[in-house]
Chains A and B, each alone.
Chain A
Amino acid sequence: MIPSIPQPAFLRFTYGAYVALFFVYLALPLTVVIVFAFNDSQFPSLPWEGFTWNWFFGEERPMIGAFHERAILRAIGTSAWVALCVSVLSVGVGTANAFLFNRYDFRGKNLLYVVMLLPLVIPGIVLGISILVFSSTIANGLWDFAKIDLEVLRPGLVLVILGQFSFITTIATLVISARLQKFDQSLEEAALNLGATPLEAIRTITIPFLRPALIGATVVAFLMSFENFNTTLMLVGSDAPLTIAMFDRLKEGSTPLLNAVSLLLILGSSLLALLVILVQRKK
């Protein structure tokens, strides 16, 4: 169980083998996705037909690579735009929430805190349909009373952004709060004593202290938005983000093009994850 308690060699070996097997299980699906991105065949399956870069750089049918496939590139752009909006919005609101819950005492604070956590326990699909239902209630109401047709309230990117924002903000709030709690408020008071205005004190003392958490929250929000599927599925209009576009293709049957896109996704998110770790470590 722990190194200081001797165990029979056979048990130790079995245990080690079990853990090794577990990590093989973790790595297996990702490994096959990556390997078959380089298979010179129309299908991401055996037999192995030889190595090729065509699923990345190919320009001609039937092997149009990921970098030349318009629809995929557009979907990546859409996803990146949505993720950018979501991370800016959720980190902004999350920072405000963190200050509110850390610095102020008010009636109903505990209740509000629990309500703030709820988005994490609501299934993504339900979150999606509730926002869909509410936005079309408003849109229909506007149409009935004032004959105004508000396009933003119909399924589309604005709703996708709002839907993702609605639960990612909770995560941003938790990440930023955790760091703000460790902040020594006497530092801010010292700045005030030295003649800074409250806003100056926050800008020059508190925000730099929060920076690792702000960057971490931004990256996590970006990744969660980029990879979100359930909420997006219910709110998506004609511009499909990448996960939806890939899902539609996967339903029709897959080519190694999807493996190539997946590999790019894996690379992209690993780089971002690495960035978070580096930022966290520097503190």
Chain B
Amino acid sequence: MTQMTARLGFFVLLMPLLLWLALLIIIPHIDMFLLSLRERVGVGEYETSFANYLILFTEPLYIWTFVRTAVMSVLATAITLIIAFPVSIYIAKIAQGRLQQILFMLCLIPFYVSELVRTFGWMILLRETGIVSNFVQWVGIVDRPVEFLYNDAAIMVGLVYTSMLFMVVPLVTTLESLDNSVIEAGYDLGGSTLSVMREIIIPHAAPGIMSGCIVVFMLSLGNYLTPIMLGGKDSLWFTEMIYNQFIVRFNWELGAAFGFMLLVLSSAIVWAMLRLTGQTLAKTME
């Protein structure tokens, strides 16, 4: 009897999981892949081929945007890490008690606010009539309004801002677990700040660095709002191409191929990063 209930319970619990993963994750992605293999040869006539992928790799605009998105996402990840690392050490090691908690909470606040609001904030700051432009005029660096918006630097500022939390939290968590006496021992043995950093702190923080970088990279790669709102006409982002093919051009076959390539790129880099540090996905998510 108990055996029976246990088995029944098992299947009742298994069902929602299987339905969810099969119907909303696995089959849709297979279907998207199949769609990307369809080539339109005439009205309502299709053939199976890699033609859509060929278009991506032969049309300079598409492949250029693809590479650009990847490179800029890597750059955004690196900048986020460089900015966040000292701050995380400060929160984890120097700030004490109350202050530590408050600083950590402050880092979380932007995350609770919609990405749209954050981007809007940067638009108010950076536009020609915006705060930064008025500020540099007031200081006297320039004598007319300057447009800071609609360029790649603005995209970078927005991406780094949006991703900051996902870098700071894992960094602070791993750094907190590093015993102060280990750092002290490093200095006692004659290490300089630089060598203690290189030999002790960074190796210890490696798992945090890795999971932070993975999340930030994925978020940047898949971002749509920030490049659209902060970037100019020429600052294309790959997600924008996907949206245009699906919604504007109604060329779903090509859009599906683009989407699949974005997925491949994102998975490949995540896999490479995990491989590089010998971690597993399950461990990184904890």
Chain A residues near B (Cβ < 8 Å): 1-5, 7, 15, 18-19, 22-23, 25-33, 36, 43-46, 92-93, 96-97, 99-100, 104, 106, 110, 112-126, 129-134, 137, 162-163, 165-166, 169, 174, 198, 223, 226-227, 229-230, 233-234, 243, 246-247, 250, 254, 258-259, 262, 265-266, 269-270, 272-273
* Closest chain A residue to B164, Cβ basis: A26
A-B contact pairs, 21 of them (CB 8 A): A2-B93, A2-B183, A4-B184, A5-B184, A15-B90, A23-B106, A29-B121, A30-B121, A32-B125, A32-B131, A115-B26, A117-B285, A123-B222, A129-B256, A165-B24, A166-B25, A229-B114, A233-B224, A246-B116, A250-B116, A270-B112
B101-135 CB mask vs A (1 if < 8 Å, else 0) is 00100111110111111101111110101110010
Query: Is there an interface contact between B252 and A126, defined as CB atoms closer than 8 Å?
Result: no
Q: Quick one: which of A3, A18, A99, A198 contacts B13, CB cutoff 8 A?
A: A99
Query: Is there an interface contact between A97 and B16, defined as CB atoms closer than 8 Å?
Result: yes
Interface flag for B17 (CB, 8 Å): yes
CB contacts between A and B, total, < 8 Å:
241
Q: Quick one: which of B117, B252, B266 contacts A121, CB cutoff 8 A?
A: B266
Query: Is there an interface contact between A120 and B20, defined as CB atoms closer than 8 Å?
Result: no
Query: Is there an interface contact between B5 and A198, defined as CB atoms closer than 8 Å?
Result: yes
B interface majority secondary structure? helix
Query: Is there an interface contact between B116 and A46, defined as CB atoms closer than 8 Å?
Result: no
Query: Is there an interface contact between B239 and A33, defined as CB atoms closer than 8 Å?
Result: no
Interface flag for B96 (CB, 8 Å): yes
CA distance A72 to B246 in the complex (A): 26
Q: A2-B93, A266-B113 are in contact. Are A100 and B14 (CB under 8 A)?
A: yes
CA distance A254 to B10 in the complex (A): 53
Query: Is there an interface contact between A131 and B24, defined as CB atoms closer than 8 Å?
Result: yes
Interface flag for B169 (CB, 8 Å): no
Query: Is there an interface contact between A100 and B17, defined as CB atoms closer than 8 Å?
Result: yes
* Closest chain A residue to B196, Cβ basis: A1
Which of A32, A119, A129, A131 has its CB near the most chain B CB atoms (within 10 A)? A129
Query: Is there an interface contact between A33 and B32, defined as CB atoms closer than 8 Å?
Result: no
Q: A93-B17, A117-B285, A230-B222 are in contact. Are A46 and B114 (CB under 8 A)?
A: no
Q: List the 8 closest pairs (A to B, CB-CB), nearest first.
A: A29-B121, A123-B222, A134-B28, A130-B28, A166-B24, A227-B114, A100-B13, A130-B32
Known: A123-B222, A262-B117. 19 other contacts (CB 8 A): A18-B86, A18-B87, A19-B87, A19-B103, A33-B124, A46-B131, A113-B282, A114-B281, A119-B25, A120-B285, A121-B270, A121-B281, A123-B218, A123-B221, A130-B28, A130-B31, A234-B247, A262-B120, A272-B112
Chain B: interface size category: 35 or more
Contacting residues of chain B (181-217) with chain A, CB-CB under 8 angstroms: 183-184, 187, 193, 196-197, 201, 214
Q: Quick one: which of B118, B134, B184, B243 contacts A233, CB cutoff 8 A?
A: B243
Contacts of B17 in A (CB 8 A): 93, 96-97, 100, 112, 116
State how many angstroms separate the Cβ of A77 from the closest Cβ of chain B.
17
CA distance A207 to B143 in the complex (A): 65
